[in-house]
């Protein structure tokens, strides 16, 4: 009957629409992944910065983040280098950390493409030179953080620790115009 034929054609049409929607969503997901991967790893021109991200001094949050917390904790490098702790604003990546008795020193790459260019320029000029760590506290003893999970380091305008400063130590790559 014509109703069965219409139903059969409708079902076939809807299956094609579903496949098309799945294909479009898959392409969008892959595109978003590639875009985020580019944000995290693939800029042509980079600043290399070195800074102090932890010392034995009291933080603005009335706690201590001594270097031992990094030795006792979990640090899986690279971690993102963010702007103002915003996970949507990936400036680059932290590539190396050195834990000393009195401080923790980090090395990072700052990408200079697209929306990052003006921030990188402010970093070069020394207008932005403070940093802050994004951590998950694993254990504390009183006001002392004893171990942590390092999630990110951020370029910030106001650090939690006065000594949390960085400097540009190099630049790699070329402009692609």
Q: Give the residue carrying structure tokens 């971690």.
A: 79
pLDDT, mean of residues 88-112: 96
Residue 59 sits at φ, ψ, to 5 deg, of -90, 170
Residue 15 has what pLDDT?
Answer: 78
pLDDT > 60? residue 42? no
Residues in the chain: 177
pLDDT, mean of residues 37-44: 55
- Long-range contacts for 35-41 (Cβ within 8 Å, ≥24 apart)? 39/90, 39/111, 40/80, 40/90, 40/93, 41/93
Residue 142 sits at φ, ψ, to 5 deg, of 65, -130
pLDDT of 115-142, one tens digit each?
Answer: 999 999 999 999 999 999 999 999 999 9
For residues 167 and 74, what is the distance between their CA atoms, to the nearest angstrom? 25
């Amino acid at each position: 009957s014509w109703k069965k034929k219409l139903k059969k054609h409708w079902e076939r049409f809807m299956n094609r629409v579903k496949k098309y929607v799945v294909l479009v969503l898959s392409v969008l997901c892959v595109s978003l992944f590639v875009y985020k991967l580019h944000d995290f790893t693939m800029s042509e021109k980079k600043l290399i910065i070195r800074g102090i991200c932890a010392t034995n001094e009291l933080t603005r949050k009335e706690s201590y983040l001594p270097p031992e917390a990094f030795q006792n904790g979990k640090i899986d490098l690279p971690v993102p280098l963010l702007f103002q702790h915003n996970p949507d604003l990936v400036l680059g990546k932290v590539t190396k950390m050195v834990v000393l008795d009195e401080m923790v020193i980090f090395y990072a790459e700052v990408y200079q493409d697209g929306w990052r260019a003006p921030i990188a320029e402010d970093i070069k000029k020394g207008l932005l030179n403070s940093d802050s760590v994004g951590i998950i506290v694993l254990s504390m003893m009183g006001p002392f953080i004893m171990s942590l999970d390092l999630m990110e380091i951020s370029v910030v305008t106001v650090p939690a620790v006065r000594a949390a400063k960085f400097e540009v130590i190099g630049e790699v790559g070329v402009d692609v115009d």
